[in-house]
Amino acid sequence: MDLGSETLNALVKSLARLPGLGTKSALRVAMHLLRPESAEAERIAVLLSELKEKVRFCRSCGAITEAEQCAICTDPARSQDLICVVEEPQDMIVMERTRHYRGLYHVLHGVLSPVDGVGPDDLSLRTLESRVRDLKTRELIVATNPTVEGDATALYIARMVAPYGCTVTRLARGLPMGGTLEFVDDTTLARAIDRRETL
Ligand SMILES: [Zn+2]
């Protein structure tokens, strides 16, 4: 599609590659940014340039932070012997919203998926293993999504940490099968935490 400007063409093409945005939405966003009265474009340009520079992943748990370690890892009030394993940083935000969990987290940044070529070394599993060993973790709550990949990842983790004598639990069934934590309401998630089952 030629919009009459190389820059605009390139912007729409880039935006269309973002998750959830197709060409149509990308075009709407670009046109909105282009409006003379919109100050959003400058603001977004600044934020995007700072994004890669300032925002990073916690070196212990993989959560989003602007420091070496995240606010949860450095909070002495959090139970140090309890780790909740999630797929993505946003799942951790959902868990926190329930105000029902007071332990640490571990973000895998994905799930095992042989079909997509994602193996154990592509996730932060080695770091998880050393944390379980060093923190003498009492319980590992695996909160990967209730999908085939999420379940397979949970089993892999259970086997991986078996030598350290740590209990591995899985969020209770009742979460929609094949769904993601992101779309579960707080009450259902809090209940699933309470009724977690040992693997
Ligand atoms: Zn952390």
List pLDDT tens digits, range 47-80: 999 999 999 999 999 999 999 999 999 999 999 9
For the cut 70, the answer to whether the pLDDT of residue 179 exceeds it is no
Angle at 104 between CA 100 and CA 106, to 5 degrees: 115
Residue 76 and residue 99: Cα distance in Å, rounded?
Answer: 17
For the cut 80, the answer to whether the pLDDT of residue 172 exceeds it is no
Structure confidence by residue, pLDDT tens digits, 4-46: 999 999 999 999 999 999 999 999 999 999 998 888 999 999 9
- Which pLDDT belongs to residue 120? 93
115 band by pLDDT with thresholds 50, 70 and 90: very high
Cα 155 to ligand 1 centroid, rounded to whole Å: 23
- Which pLDDT belongs to residue 192? 85
For the cut 70, the answer to whether the pLDDT of residue 177 exceeds it is no
Cα 13 to ligand 1 centroid, rounded to whole Å: 35
H runs (alpha helix) in the chain: 6-16, 23-34, 40-54, 89-97, 125-134, 148-161, 186-194
Cα 61 to ligand 1 centroid, rounded to whole Å: 4
Cα 58 to ligand 1 centroid, rounded to whole Å: 5
Instruction: Give the 3-state secondary structure of residue 191.
Output: helix
Residues 128-132, mean pLDDT to the nearest whole number? 97
Cα 90 to ligand 1 centroid, rounded to whole Å: 13
Cα 59 to ligand 1 centroid, rounded to whole Å: 7
Residue 27 and residue 15: Cα distance in Å, rounded?
Answer: 8
- Which pLDDT belongs to residue 197? 87
- Which pLDDT belongs to residue 63? 96
Query: Residue 190 is encoded by which pair of tokens?
Result: 């809090």
Note the pTM of the prediction, 2 decimals: 0.82
For the cut 90, the answer to whether the pLDDT of residue 178 exceeds it is no
Q: Which residues surround ligand 1, an ion (CB under 5 A)?
A: 58, 60-61, 63, 70, 73
